[in-house]
Amino acid sequence: MRAFNVKQRLLMVALLPAALLAIALGIYFTWAGVRSLDQELRQRGLAMVRYLAPVCEYGVLSGQITALQGYTQAAARQPAVKAVLVVGSGGRILATSGHVSLGADEMRRALPQPVMLVQTASTLAFGAPIVRSVADVDDLFNEESARKPEGAGEEIGRVFVELDPDEVYDRQRNLLMRSFLLVLVGLGMTAGFALFAANRAAQPLNRLVAAVRAMSGGQYQTRVDTGTPGEIGVLEQGFNEMAQRVEEVHRDLHWRIEEATAHLAFQARHDSLTNLINRREFESRLEEAIETVQKGGVEICILFMDLDRFKQVNDTSGHLAGDELLRQLARLLQGRLREKDTVARLGGDEFGVILPDCPQENALQVAEDICRLVSNFRFVWQNQMFGIGISVGLVRIGNDMKTVASVLSAGDAACYVAKDEGGNHVHVHSGDGLPEQVPTRERWRDRIEQALHERRLRCDATPIRSLVASDDSPWQLAELGLSLNEARGTEITAAVFGTIAERAGLATLVDLRATEVALDMLAAARSHDAFPSLLLLVPLSAASIKSAGNTDRLLDLIRAHSCRAGLCLALPEEAVVRNIGEAGLLCAALHDAGCKVALTDFGGWLASFNHLDVVRPELIRLNRSLTDDLRRHRSAYALLRAIQEISVDRGIRTIADAVDDTVAVTALRELGIHYAQGRAIAPVEPVAAWLEGEVLRAG
């Protein structure tokens, strides 16, 4: 039954009982008709011999053979009569008509009354005794004679009649044929009615089935016609209500997916703090600008800008003030530029501007206007007023600049020259082989090498606290960062210093120095029994991932220390994805050496989770844009929850970055994020002071 559809099942339910009933009735009435015809033929034969026996009595007694012959011939002319025979008491044949097939034995059988003698496929033979029925005068007064039954007189002969059953058989066959035709007609009419009823009953069900298939195929606007009475009508109404709800849910889900996708795409191209495009998108547009210049006919200039005295705002009023300053400056820059110009935040307090269809003279005017605007701008924060400046490097894209790296190098060099010349100044790149790039890069290289040699790199610790009350982690976490203390008293923060070191080609040496400091801190902490579970995160640059020689030096340094289990090297996700092969080899070697691996800026690269199987990190630090957007966008909350669930499933602990208010702490704790760092967690402090404080608190 499972192989049949509803219509076929309804037909079977309607036709099977009707067919069985029709066949049973046909068989019964056919059998009754055939039996009736057979009884009729028997009764006819018996009736004929009963009639002929008394008729032939006088002829037998009187010997009138001619009369007997007439009787037999008259009887033989009756339908279905084959032969008629009259026999005397001695067995002598007195009269006959037709072809007699009875044998002598049948003729001599005693016949007390009319009976059927023979029944074959071709003949039915009947016989009856001819009895003298006239009584003697003496017998009229004989009491015993008066009590004799009818036919109990003296037998004076016999009469035989043979009938041909073919006519009856023909009638029986006709009866069978008519019965069969009637059964067929009845079944046909029943089948037609059943088919009609099945179609009517299955039609709404088929509509529902087609609608369900359409819904499963993605046609969520599908509806069925209603109006069918009974339970199917309820199903139709219920399906339409369900379909409407599914369509609404699908539309809402589709809208949410589009919103989240658009938000993530926006995040991938824009800076979360200022909503300006980020460095990656800036470089992409810069590449398009270079291609446009190479085709000829268009002048494009680039401005590279770095804020002056920005650190003073951060140190005096905190990072919240610095973030607000960056947002206000972003709006200030956008207000000065044209709609077709591109302004981007390149990182920290660095900005970049692409000026299409702009000669160098006009670009210089724009840059000087920006310097005046920023120098005249006053930033007010909590009853404090700050004045800042901006150093601008102007580069006109020439035909010799065919790569993004060449333009960025020229812009960085020009910006450094402007800053070295006192700041709040515009320096125009000369364009004749980057003459100022080499001395500027060399000056920074000399400064960093001298600082490394003189041990003037300052190491700060950013505490990382657990957000989970029942956390069973044995780690006490902190992130180490190196900054540069210049001889003239100025300080370059860790974020800026890392960028400068990478551009100067010394990022691998700085990474080695940071790793060495971390191992020394772990050795110092190991001597305190109350503080045995320190885990220090040391960020590595992209250069350390790509450099095979640096990997060997790094591993030699790690293996030389016995406290390497407390070391966790943090790799930026973007660099890992871009150099997945080298990153896989480095992480495998670090795991073999006994230290731990973390991923930073996770979730900002919009990459899949496949690289987690290559890196196998113990920790991931989430991109700060996810924390910044936590209160403003539902999609950020959903994305954080998805990352947290996948991380827990893989046994990875998560760290939220840039957590600056208690509201974010509460939301992150609800999501189950394991750790957090930022101004709302703990301030940045020199690593020695932090370690001493942690030891005291642990004790």
**DSSP-assigned letters across all residues of 423-443:** SS-EEE---SS-TTHHHHHHH
Structure tokens at 187: 């079944």
What CATH number has the domain spanning 272-435? 3.30.70.270
In the chain, % of residues over pLDDT 90: 14
Query: Is pLDDT at 148 greater than 60 in this prediction?
Result: no
Query: Is pLDDT at 146 greater than 50 in this prediction?
Result: no
Sheet holding 155-163, edge to edge: 93-98, 81-88, 155-163, 124-131, 115-119
In which band, very low, low, confident or very high, does the pLDDT at 138 lie, cut at 50, 70 and 90? Answer: very low
What is the mean predicted confidence (pLDDT) over 600-618? 74
What pLDDT does residue 145 have?
45
pLDDT single digits (tens) 42-76: 888 888 888 888 888 888 888 888 888 888 888 88
Query: Is pLDDT at 392 greater than 90 in this prediction?
Result: yes
Which letter, b or e, does each residue of 164-199 get, where b requires 16 or more Cβ atoms within 10 Å of its Cβ? bbeebbeebeebeeebeeebeebbeebbeebeeebe
First to last CA, the chain: 78
Q: Which of 236-245, 339-348, 565-574 has the lowest average pLDDT?
A: 236-245
Query: Is pLDDT at 408 greater than 60 in this prediction?
Result: yes
CATH 3.20.20.450 in the chain, residues?
446-698
pLDDT single digits (tens) 327-354: 999 999 988 888 889 999 988 889 999 9
Domain 1-136+150-186 has CATH 1.10.540.10: no
Structure tokens at 483: 């900054």
- For residues 163 and 8, the model is more confident at 163
- For residues 438 and 389, the model is more confident at 389
Structure tokens at 312: 């003073």
What pLDDT does residue 8 have?
65
What pLDDT does residue 592 have?
92
pTM (2 d.p.): 0.46
Query: Is pLDDT at 490 greater than 60 in this prediction?
Result: no
Average pLDDT, the chain: 80
- What residues are paired with 537 via a beta bridge? 479, 568
H-helix or E-strand containing 507? Answer: helix 507-526
Q: How far apart are CA 125 and CA 92, in angstroms?
A: 19
CATH 3.30.70.270 in the chain, residues?
272-435
Query: Is pLDDT at 538 greater than 90 in this prediction?
Result: yes
What is the mean predicted confidence (pLDDT) over 77-82? 84
Specify the CATH architecture of the domain 446-698. Alpha-Beta Barrel (3.20)
- For residues 380 and 109, the model is more confident at 380
Amino acid sitting at position 15: L
Q: How far apart are CA 445 and CA 385, in angstroms?
A: 35
Sheet holding 389-396, edge to edge: 342-347, 350-355, 301-308, 389-396, 426-428
Query: Is pLDDT at 171 greater than 50 in this prediction?
Result: yes
What is the mean predicted confidence (pLDDT) over 450-471? 83
In which band, very low, low, confident or very high, does the pLDDT at 439 lie, cut at 50, 70 and 90? Answer: very low
Q: How far apart are CA 226 and CA 237, in angstroms?
A: 6
Structure tokens at 27: 């068989």
What pLDDT does residue 614 have?
84
Q: Which of 83-87, 328-332, 446-450, 478-482 has the lowest average pLDDT?
A: 446-450
In which band, very low, low, confident or very high, does the pLDDT at 435 lie, cut at 50, 70 and 90? Answer: very low
pLDDT single digits (tens) 630-681: 766 677 778 888 888 888 888 899 999 888 888 888 889 988 899 999 888 8
Highest mean predicted confidence (pLDDT) among 42-46, 237-241, 367-371, 472-476: 367-371
CATH 3.30.450.20 in the chain, residues?
1-136+150-186
H-helix or E-strand containing 119? Answer: strand 115-119
What pLDDT does residue 496 have?
62
What pLDDT does residue 179 have?
76
Query: Is pLDDT at 624 greater than 80 in this prediction?
Result: no
What is the mean predicted confidence (pLDDT) over 197-207? 73
Tokens 């004790």 locate to 699
H-helix or E-strand containing 265? Answer: helix 231-269
What pLDDT does residue 569 have?
94
Query: Is pLDDT at 117 greater than 90 in this prediction?
Result: no
Instruction: Report DSSP letters for 196-207, one per residue.
Output: HHHHHHHHHHHH
What is the mean predicted confidence (pLDDT) over 387-413? 86
